[in-house]
Amino acid sequence: MRKSLMRVFSLGLMASMSTALLPVLTFAGTYNLTVDKVLIDTGDFTKEGIGYNGKSPGPILRFNEGEEVTINVTNNLEETTSIHWHGLILPYQMDGVPKISYPGIEPGETFTYKFPIVQTGTYWFHSHSGFQEPDGAYGSIVIDPKKRKPFRFDRDYVVQFTDKHPHSGKRIMRNLKMASDYYNRQQQTLGDFLSDVNKNGFEATVSDRLDWGSMRMMATDVEDVQGFTPLINGKGPEQNWTGIFNPKERVLLRLINSSAMTYFDVRIPGLKMTVVASDGNYVQPVTVDELRIGVAETYDVLVRPKDDKAYTIFGASMGQTAYARGTLAPRDGMSADIPEMSIRPLLTMADMGMDHGTMEGMDHSSMRGMGSKEDKFYAKGSGIAPTAANGGKFLSYVDLKAQKPLYKEREATREIELRLTGNMERYIWSINGVKYEDADPIKLQYGERVRFKFVNETMMTHPMHLHGMWSILDVGAGKWNPAKHTISVAPGTTVYSETEVDATGQWAFHCHLSYHADAGMFRKVVVEGGPKTASLTTTGKGVPQ
Amino acid sequence: MRKIIKHFPSILFSLALLTPFTSHAEEPANIFYGFQMEEFEYRYGESGEELFAFDGDAFIGSDELKLRWEGDGEFDLNIEKFETLSNQLSLQTPVSDFWDIKGGVRYTSPQGPDRWYVAVGLSGLAPQWFEIDTQLYLSEKGKLSADLDVEYSVLLTNYLTLTPSATVDVAFSSDREIGVGSGVNSVEAGLRLSYDVWDRIFSPYVGVVYERKFGQTANFVEAEGESADIWYAVIGAKLMF
């Protein structure tokens, strides 16, 4: 109910804006958030966690482009907290990362964030302290543009995914340090061995197991942390979050992945999804049957349900161990079939960076992996490259092209190589083999354009998030390369992104998997030079047009 | 080495915090702890021997340096005495991706004379998933001995695990007072079938254990009227938290 009221309110705002009575009005909204201990009921279990304004997820913050926002955040916890506005371009002191942007917010303290809104689209916010985010401290942000959107829709919904675990984040981290396979309940068993012998022969099966055994790595290590209940807007699969539509309406779904660790393969059987924005920025529309949303990414998709019936929003975890489920329906209380999950994927030697080209003998992923066009954002022969469940189009990064580039294209002034490294057995994650606590900051000069080369030497997929500045993902489209805030780097691949260094100050740069970031896959970035004082009110950087 | 020295204060600090784990707000983020009992079991021998046996360890520390307690013992329920009892406190640090070295002191205090030892060891994960732990001991009497533990997990399902294990004890010179002869003096092989009932916190198991003493050690044991090789049926639980 609250959601639809907010929608009416914001549609009202948009209407009043478009009447041109107030063409250059600068909004100055004040918002209040309290950080509270809350109970989170997933349908499978109820767990004490952290939320905003008494709930997890927190509210949808609806801002307007050009607005000067004041956000009062009151910490009602007994520990320090913080809020990071994920993807927002703002002065670094407002970025909300303890020990980098500011000291954090002490218990009982109210911190006032004040910054101008210089962009549009779908974003989110979350705590950047300890494991408060996996414990429930997240919410969403929707920013309406001054100008008309490049597409039309009748209503919009935030569809925010998370992977709520019955264990607290702190306990998960400790268990992973004690036994890195603590939460992996998809390990290969004697039964799998026998069925593989049956399928591939004894010799091939033994040699496969010996290959993995000699590396002391697991082909099943697609999801470090299993045993969670996926939620959509705080609702478990049984609780079935439902968005109402009138048949033939265009509905904009603002997909946000606020998971601690889990990628989701999202589809709505019976509906095509037209991707119109990625990480808040408009992209040239591309119609797909299914997409994979990495941790911390956002996608805006348009759907047009024509029939007077319910449609299931289905998000299977990348490891196919659990699914999120919601419903789009003309009326409350309706539901549609829930699809089966696919066969659980296994990593291949290609994902391990060993260029075997084609897999010899062993072919676990044939059900999903084969017959699809190669996606260059996965290793050749990867076991985790996705294909659409209905055989149709699965979104690739290659499909993402900016609607309107944020920056002029130019040659990068230098390249910085970041090898994504780790030791699964010890649950240590690092960059260039060095953990955050032992690393020097990455120094950038204001005004340069840096090309980051991510080389993933681990078997995990890492969503790399640079704060404060855009990461222009090199999809090979030149000036049309899309600007993102989070770049997913699959195992055994090298991915490039470019950043126009246009924000003075110090920023965080890290893998957005909560337990990888905490284990050390994290860097401080210091931008030197530029405007002397990064004033809290001036910007002029990376403004979407 | 520099790394270890750097982390030392935080480890000492965390040790100070070990008892009152309530004030977690200021706990250093990169310090972890854990406790596990690999074996915690009742043994019933083929000639009516009844033992309670345990083998466990606990640690606190960082990726770079851990303080580890290891303990094991066998308590004879018929005569209510410890046949073996050992406690060791070591500092442990990685030397490669999969291997750690450790060094510390060990104290054995079963029925009979006690011994202090200086211990150095190597533990880690060998290729093909064999868990290895081997240590060298120098006793206060100047006697050198060593042991080797090997363990492997066969997943029948992701919850039902068959764990074969073996321990070999070797002494390089005899210590008659504590009934140790020189050479390979005992071998213990176990096979345990466990089921994870509650996460990995509580995994009850049943199994068999075969224990055999060799050479002089066997003579010492037999002189006391015990058998040099025994089969046990065991029932117990793995614990981890």
- Average confidence (pLDDT) over B90-106: 97
HEC profile of A418-485:
EEEEEECCCCEEEECCECHHHCCCEEEECCCEEEEEEEECCCCCEEEEECCCCEEECCCCHHHCCEEC
Confidence category of residue A26, pLDDT binned at 50, 70, 90: low
Out of A114-128, A458-472, B28-42, least confident range: B28-42
Q: What's the mean per-residue pLDDT of chain A?
A: 91
Determine the residue type at A255.
Answer: L
Q: What are phi and psi of B165, to 5 degrees?
A: -145, 155
User: Number of Cβ pairs closer than 8 Å across A and B?
Assistant: 59
Q: What's the mean per-residue pLDDT of chain B?
A: 90
Q: Which pLDDT score, from 0 to 100, does residue A327 have?
A: 98
Q: Which pLDDT score, from 0 to 100, does residue A404 have?
A: 94
Confidence category of residue B195, pLDDT binned at 50, 70, 90: very high
Residues of A with Cβ-Cβ distance to B33 under 8 angstroms:
174
Confidence category of residue B226, pLDDT binned at 50, 70, 90: confident
Residues of A with Cβ-Cβ distance to B199 under 8 angstroms:
182
What ipTM, to 2 d.p.? 0.89
List the 47-66 stretch of B: residues with Cβ below 8 A of A. Answer: 63
Higher-pLDDT residue of A9, B218: B218
Cβ pair A191:B157 closer than 8 A: yes
Q: Does B27 touch chain A (CB under 8 A)?
A: no
Give one word for A50, left, alpha or beta, with left for phi > 0 and alpha for psi -120 to 50.
beta
Q: Which pLDDT score, from 0 to 100, does residue A464 have?
A: 98
Residues of B with Cβ-Cβ distance to A189 under 8 angstroms:
155-158
Number of Cβ within a 10 Å radius of residue B114 = 11
Given a contact cutoff of 8 angstroms between Cβ atoms, the answer to whether A48 and A136 are in contact is: no
Q: Which pLDDT score, from 0 to 100, does residue A446 have?
A: 97
Cβ pair A425:B157 closer than 8 A: no
Distance between CA B9 and CA A409 in Å, rounded? 50
Residues of B with Cβ-Cβ distance to A128 under 8 angstroms:
none
Confidence category of residue A536, pLDDT binned at 50, 70, 90: very low
Confidence category of residue A56, pLDDT binned at 50, 70, 90: very high
pLDDT tens digits, residue range B106-125?
Answer: 999 999 999 999 999 999 99
Tokens 């659980």 found at: A344
Cβ pair A178:B240 closer than 8 A: yes
pLDDT tens digits, residue range A247-259?
Answer: 999 999 999 999 9
Residue B82 clears pLDDT 60, i.e. is over it: yes
Residues of B with Cβ-Cβ distance to A170 under 8 angstroms:
24
Q: Which pLDDT score, from 0 to 100, does residue B7 have?
A: 52
Residues of B with Cβ-Cβ distance to A178 under 8 angstroms:
32, 34, 36, 240
Q: Which pLDDT score, from 0 to 100, does residue A365 have?
A: 42
Cβ pair B29:A130 closer than 8 A: yes
Q: Which pLDDT score, from 0 to 100, does residue A180 have?
A: 94
Cβ pair A426:B129 closer than 8 A: no
Number of Cβ within a 10 Å radius of residue A266 = 25
Q: Which pLDDT score, from 0 to 100, does residue B223 have?
A: 86
Q: Which pLDDT score, from 0 to 100, does residue A332 have?
A: 94
Closest CB from A174, A187, A428 relative to B34:
A174
Q: Does B113 touch chain A (CB under 8 A)?
A: no
Residues of B with Cβ-Cβ distance to A435 under 8 angstroms:
63
Residue A520 clears pLDDT 70, i.e. is over it: yes
Residues of A with Cβ-Cβ distance to B94 under 8 angstroms:
426
Residue A126 clears pLDDT 70, i.e. is over it: yes
Q: Which pLDDT score, from 0 to 100, does residue B6 have?
A: 52
In angstroms, what CA-CA distances link B143 with A393, B139, B172, B182? 71, 5, 7, 10
Cβ pair A80:B25 closer than 8 A: yes
Out of A257-261, A501-505, B4-8, least confident range: B4-8
Out of A298-302, A343-347, B163-167, least confident range: A343-347
- Average confidence (pLDDT) over A425-446: 97
Higher-pLDDT residue of A156, A372: A156
Q: Which pLDDT score, from 0 to 100, does residue A3 have?
A: 44
Q: What are phi and psi of A524, to 5 degrees?
A: -95, 135
- Average confidence (pLDDT) over A490-506: 97
Q: Does B25 touch chain A (CB under 8 A)?
A: yes
Distance between CA A139 and CA A95 in Å, rounded? 15
Residues of B with Cβ-Cβ distance to A79 under 8 angstroms:
24-25
Lateral strand order in the sheet of A251-257: A229-232, A155-164, A251-257, A298-303, A273-278, A281-288
Q: Does B34 touch chain A (CB under 8 A)?
A: yes
Confidence category of residue B222, pLDDT binned at 50, 70, 90: confident
Q: Would you state the structure tokens that stand for residue B218, as one six-digit string?
A: 């066997």
Given a contact cutoff of 8 angstroms between Cβ atoms, the answer to whether A377 and A396 are in contact is: yes
- Average confidence (pLDDT) over A388-395: 96
Cβ pair A186:B158 closer than 8 A: yes
- Average confidence (pLDDT) over A76-89: 98
Q: What is the DSSP string of A222-276?
A: T-SS---EEEETTB-TTT-EEEE--TT--EEEEEEE--SS--EEEE-TT--EEEE
Q: Would you state the structure tokens that stand for residue A60, as one six-digit string?
A: 């949808």
- Average confidence (pLDDT) over B86-115: 97
- Average confidence (pLDDT) over A397-422: 97
Pick from B5, B10, B128 the residue to mutate for testing the A interface (most A CBs within 10 Å).
B128
Cβ pair B30:A186 closer than 8 A: no
Taking the CA of residue A372 and the nearest CA in chain B, the distance in Å comes to 31
Out of A20-34, A49-63, A167-181, B132-146, least confident range: A20-34
Q: Does B154 touch chain A (CB under 8 A)?
A: yes
Q: Which pLDDT score, from 0 to 100, does residue A355 have?
A: 61
Closest CB from A177, A178, A189 relative to B155:
A189
Closest CB from B3, B63, B200 relative to A428:
B63
Q: Which pLDDT score, from 0 to 100, does residue B28 have?
A: 59
Closest CB from B32, B155, B199 relative to A177:
B32
Cβ pair A213:B129 closer than 8 A: yes
Distance between CA B70 and CA A267 in Å, rounded? 51
Closest CB from A173, A186, A210 relative to B128:
A210
- Average confidence (pLDDT) over A220-237: 96
Q: What percentage of chain A reaches a pLDDT higher than 70?
A: 89
Out of A107-116, A328-337, A377-386, B16-25, least confident range: B16-25
User: b vs e for A327-366, b when ≥16 Cβ sit within 10 Å of the residue's Cβ?
Assistant: bbbbeeebebeeeebeebbbbbbbbbbeeeeebeebbbbe
Residues in CB range of A274: below 8 A, 6 or more apart: A285, A286, A287, A288, A301, A302, A303
Q: Which pLDDT score, from 0 to 100, does residue B10 have?
A: 52
Residues of B with Cβ-Cβ distance to A174 under 8 angstroms:
32-34
Q: Does B202 touch chain A (CB under 8 A)?
A: no
Given a contact cutoff of 8 angstroms between Cβ atoms, the answer to whether A348 and A363 are in contact is: no
Confidence category of residue A150, pLDDT binned at 50, 70, 90: confident
Out of A15-24, A43-52, A430-439, least confident range: A15-24
Cβ pair A210:B154 closer than 8 A: no
Closest CB from B36, B125, B155 relative to A190:
B155
Q: What percentage of chain A reaches a pLDDT higher than 90?
A: 87
Taking the CA of residue B222 and the nearest CA in chain A, the distance in Å comes to 41
Q: Which pLDDT score, from 0 to 100, does residue A373 have?
A: 62
Taking the CA of residue B178 and the nearest CA in chain A, the distance in Å comes to 35
Q: Which pLDDT score, from 0 to 100, does residue B179 have?
A: 86
Q: Which pLDDT score, from 0 to 100, does residue A135 have?
A: 98
- Average confidence (pLDDT) over A508-537: 87
Q: Would you state the structure tokens that stand for residue A262, as one six-digit string?
A: 């889990």
- Average confidence (pLDDT) over A457-479: 97
- Average confidence (pLDDT) over A271-290: 98
Q: What are phi and psi of B213, to 5 degrees?
A: -100, 150
Residue B5 clears pLDDT 90, i.e. is over it: no
Residues of B with Cβ-Cβ distance to A187 under 8 angstroms:
155, 158
Residue of chain A nearest B126, judged by CA positions: A216
Residue A442 clears pLDDT 80, i.e. is over it: yes
- Average confidence (pLDDT) over B42-68: 96
Kindly state the helix (H) or strand (E) to which residue B31 belongs, with its residue range. none
CA dihedral B227, B231, B236, B239 (to 10 degrees): 80
